[in-house]
Amino acid sequence: MRMITTVSERGRSVATFRYICVWMMETIARWTPITPEMEAKVMMGRHIWEYAQMADALGKRTFELRLPEQHSIAPVAAYEAFLKDIVKTSSTADKIAIFYDGVVPGIIARFKAYIAATDEILDEPSIVALQRAIVDLERQRIDAAQLQRELKLSSGVAPAAAEREKSIPEIVTVEKVAA
């Protein structure tokens, strides 16, 4: 990833990450009432709140980066289509696998790439918010793996989703400049 040097780029990246955190919150919330397994519901209920906190922290940061507070920017069309397809996943086993093994690792990688590419002093608040999100996301993957073992959930859908996620190199849209 190339270095991120302007406030505008930081703002657009953080607002895009916020969009993804809100998407994670809404997706897991959407799946909760249609998932029959009690253990899965309990895990999802906990994670909904964690995604809300991630989005909130990033949304406070967008204001510091000269955008409105709690501002989100949709990612590039290919990534948005990818996220929309994930929501359609049907069984509990596929949902847990595609989300926590297919999508979340890619999001963690994008957050880490941003941290490596931005200025550690000038953009420290973004880094702190993303580092906290990474800790939660990595722990959630452990939660999901434990659930998969407990409920004997088996699914092969994650690798294809992870590959599709990786095939989209850049998710932040380019700022339109008025002619």
Residues within the interface to another protein (CB under 8 A): 25-26, 28-38, 41-46, 48-53, 56, 59, 70, 90
Q: How far apart are CA 178 and CA 170, in angstroms?
A: 22
Nearer to another protein, 27 or 118 (CB): 27
Nearer to another protein, 35 or 118 (CB): 35
CB of 140 to another protein, least distance (A): 13
**Number of neighbours of residue 2 by Cβ within 10 angstroms:** 7
CB of 26 to another protein, least distance (A): 5
Nearer to another protein, 103 or 162 (CB): 103
CB of 17 to another protein, least distance (A): 16
42, 66, 61, 27: which is closest to 132 by C-alpha?
61
CB of 147 to another protein, least distance (A): 13
Nearer to another protein, 57 or 65 (CB): 57
Q: Exposed/middle/buried for 166, CB within 10 Å: 0-12, 13-18, 19+?
A: exposed
**Number of neighbours of residue 110 by Cβ within 10 angstroms:** 23
